[in-house]
Amino acid sequence: MPVIEYIEAIRTAMKEEMERDERVFVLGEDVGLKGGVFGTTKGLQQQFGELRSLDTPLAESAIAGVAIGAAMAGMRPIAEMQYSDFMFPATNQIISEAAKIRYRSNNDWSCPLVVRAPIGGGVFGGLYHSQCPESVFFGTPGLKIVAPATAYDAKGLLLSAIRDPDPVLFFENKKCYRLVSDEVPEGEYTVPIGKSKVMREGDDITVIGYSMPLHFAMQAAEELSRDEGVEAHILDLRTIQPLDREGVLEAAARTGKVLIVHEDNKTGGVGAEVAAIISEELLYDLDAPIRRLCAPDVPAMPINPPGEKHYLLNKDKLKAAMLDLARF
């Protein structure tokens, strides 16, 4: 099976789906001739023409709003937000419109839209090219939110998102683009929205998370296994809305010790909801308090290298937190 980069998996998903379904098109800033500032849409305009790989004016609310209109008209738009940091002007369109169209019309109208947005830091992007905005949208009924950590899931989840009859926010991690490569089958396959995946099995502690920090957890888990004899059970949520409750509870019950990790800041993050689900259902099965390892509650990460490094999670931070929990 070919090993490809995470970014290539995203591009391939769009290309294959555009070949399969002529209703699918991508729109956003620089997505056309340039192929995106990261290269995610490279080659699509050459293959599918200007309309289906559409360079838009620099106006995020219009990118989302036009895509919503086209989706209601029966198209399958993929709206690209260049950085998730620039998604906030489109928030009203996403939360007041896309999320509520089916509900407010009592199922008369629907909005099969994908909004793709790169999240995360570690690329010296400073405050406004590094954020994780999941918690802004998380908890908005009507939206589905996915955040793949692997190339395999990136392709499979993007295909599911495009085919989904409702709006899906696809948060791709920009640090993963070229850092993460894994086996991706050629051709069509989907990863279901709403289903988590066990990345690693273990009986000592459970780590639950999504996106980039899971790779640090996997590296830390290997070292802890080798050096400390601690076996971590690692669950990739993959979809953060709707959360896979059963998957979360099963993973938590497996070890009774839970560490939740994400790059979004701690307060009000997805981890708070995961912790609440476990508390509601499994409190007396726990052997330790639920812990969270997240970004600090500061507005965003600084661009200076020591500041950025201090802000971000890494293997060593994960390892320390996992070991500490194992020893509880």
Partner 1 sequence: MTHTHSVKSAPRHAALGLTDEQAVAMYEKMILARKFDERGQLLQRAGKVNFHISGINQEPSQVAMAFAMDLKNDWFLPYYRDYAFVLSLGMTVKELMLSLFAKGEDPNSAGRQMPGHFGAKRLRIVTGSSPVTTQVPHAAGFALAAKMRGERSVSLVSFGEGSSNQGDFHEGCNFAGVMKLPVIFVCQNNGYAISVPLSKQTAGRISDRALGYGFPGVQVDGNDVLETYRVFKEAHDRALAGEGPTLVEIVTYRVTPHSTSDNDLVYRTKEEVEIHKAKDGIPAYRRYLTEAGLWSEEQEQELQARIREEIDEATEYGERAPFQAVEDAFRHVYAETANGEAI
Applying CB under 8 A, the residues found at the interface with partner 1 are 25, 51-52, 56-57, 59, 61-62, 64-75, 77, 89, 92-93, 96-97, 100-110, 141-142, 144, 164-166
Nearer to partner 1, 99 or 132 (CB): 99
Nearer to partner 1, 93 or 173 (CB): 93
CA distances, 118 to each of 147, 214, 257 (Å): 10, 17, 31
Q: Which of 129, 215, 233, 262 is catalytic?
A: 129
Nearest distance from C-beta of residue 258 to partner 1, angstroms? 27
> 67: closest CA among 21, 76, 141?
76
∠ Cα 36 44 70 (to 5°): 85
What are the strands of the beta sheet with 168-173, ordered from one edge? 53-55, 24-28, 76-80, 114-119, 168-173, 144-146, 239-241
Nearer to partner 1, 76 or 215 (CB): 76
> 297: closest CA among 135, 149, 173?
135
Evaluate the omega torsion of the peptide bond into residue 148 and state whether it is cis, within 30 degrees of 0.
Answer: no
Instruction: Please confirm, yes or no, whether 310 is among the known catalytic residues.
Output: no
Sort residue 306 into left (φ over 0), alpha (ψ -120 to 50) or beta.
alpha
Nearer to partner 1, 4 or 70 (CB): 70
Nearer to partner 1, 103 or 124 (CB): 103
Nearest distance from C-beta of residue 55 to partner 1, angstroms? 9
Nearest distance from C-beta of residue 14 to partner 1, angstroms? 16
> 94: closest CA among 15, 160, 170?
170
What is the C-alpha to C-alpha distance for residues 248 and 196, in angstroms, rounded to an integer? 8
Instruction: For the chain, state the CA radius of gyration.
Output: 19
Nearest distance from C-beta of residue 43 to partner 1, angstroms? 20
Nearest distance from C-beta of residue 251 to partner 1, angstroms? 23
Give the residue numbers marked as catalytic.
129
